[in-house]
Amino acid sequence: MLPADLPTYVSVGGHVCPNATLLNSTCIACRGLSGTSGWSKPEIVVEVGGRRALNQEVLETFGAPRAVAVFPDVGNTSGGYWIEVATEHQGRSLADIASVSIGGVPCDGIRWTGPAALACLVPHGTGRSHRVVVENAGGVSTSDDVFFSYERPLITAVVPSRVMTGPTAYNFTLWGNSLALPLGAVGPHPIITVGGNPCSGGVRVISASEVHCIGVLATEW
């Protein structure tokens, strides 16, 4: 290709390159091209001097990444543990993955565990049916019906376990699982009542497994 024979048309998968530059006689740079999730062996077309050349076998692309399953799909509110995310179209290496998120919150870490599997280090959180989304380095993702839920709070012990009814205010310590977010974490604070009465002095979070309910009046029990 002579310098005067500049490419007049370059396209990939039917998308015209907005900036095609001749680097040398055997190389053309196509910059600023936005792809689509439907590419599969896209046709590459180059036109020079009114003649077109095309090739459909030199470029490998992937469809939009998607999560197809997650295991386990339930975990405690503290986060900090790994779950397996089965995927499609995740690419060839971890460099092809921009993020994995749970309910819009990015995983605290991502590991490549296979050509169709990723591991997600679960962030702390609450609630259920959070959609799991995989996004590739090109910013492409699909939303599918794959969800992760945080455990419901489970109380295993309360101290004191016996009180006298009356105008006295008691402080209770509760132990259990997923009672709150980790200490210092940003998110919803637990709401606790004992016998229908609120913690008038507030709730103090010690950890996800220990919370203190301050100033509960033992009236009308």
| One domain for residues 49 and 31 | yes
Q: Are residues 107 and 123 in the same domain?
A: yes
**pLDDT tens-digit profile of 69-82?**
999 999 999 999 99
Residue 1 is assigned to a structural domain of this protein: no
Best CA proximity match to 75, nearest among 152, 176, 132, 134: 152
Residue 76 lies in a domain: yes
Quote the pLDDT of residue 172. 97
- pLDDT tens-digit series, residues 121-165: 999 999 999 999 999 887 878 878 899 999 999 999 999 999 988
Domain boundary among the residues 105, 135, 150 is at 150
| pTM of the entire predicted model | 0.70
Residue 2 lies in a domain: no
Residue 60 domain flag: no
Rounded-to-integer distance, Cα 59 and Cα 17, Å: 15
Confidence band, pLDDT 50/70/90 cuts, at residue 1: very low
Are 50 and 75 found together in one domain?
Answer: no
Q: Tell me, yes or no, whether 145 and 190 share the same domain.
A: no
Pair 193, 199: CB distance under 8 Å? yes
Complete DSSP assignment for the chain: --TT--EEEEEETTEEPSEEEEEETTEEEEES----TT-SS--EEEEETTEEEEESSS-------EEEEEES-EE-TT---EEEEEEES--SSGGGEEEEEETTEEPSEEEEEETTEEEEEPPP---S-EEEEEEETTS-B---S-EEEEPPPEEEEEES-----SS-EEEEEEEEESSSPPTT--SPPP--EETTEE-TTEEEEEETTEEEEEEEE----
On whether residue 61 sits in a domain, the answer given is no
Say yes or no: 28 and 99 in one domain: no
- Using the predicted structure, report yes or no on whether residue 12 has a pLDDT greater than 90: no
> Quick one: 134 and 195 in the same domain?
no
Q: Residue 43 — pLDDT band, cuts 50, 70, 90?
A: low
Q: Are residues 105 and 80 in the same domain?
A: yes
Is 73 in the same domain as 51? no
Do residues 10 and 46 touch, judged by C-beta distance below 8 A? yes
Domain final residue pick, 150, 185, 209: 150
Give the count of domains, the chain. 3
Task: Indicate whether 167 and 142 sit together in one domain.
Answer: no
Q: Which of 99, 130, 150 is the last residue of a domain?
A: 150
- The reply to whether 36 falls in a domain is yes
Range of the domain at 207: 154-217
Q: Are residues 76 and 142 in the same domain?
A: yes
132 falls within a domain: yes
Is 203:194 a contact under the CB 8 Å cutoff?
Answer: no
The CATH number assigned to the domain holding 128 equals 2.60.40.10
82 with 135, same domain?
yes
Q: Mark whether 118 and 188 lie in a shared domain.
A: no
Say what the pLDDT of residue 36 is.
47
User: Are 124 and 79 spatial neighbours (Cβ–Cβ below 8 Å)?
Assistant: yes
In a domain? residue 177? yes
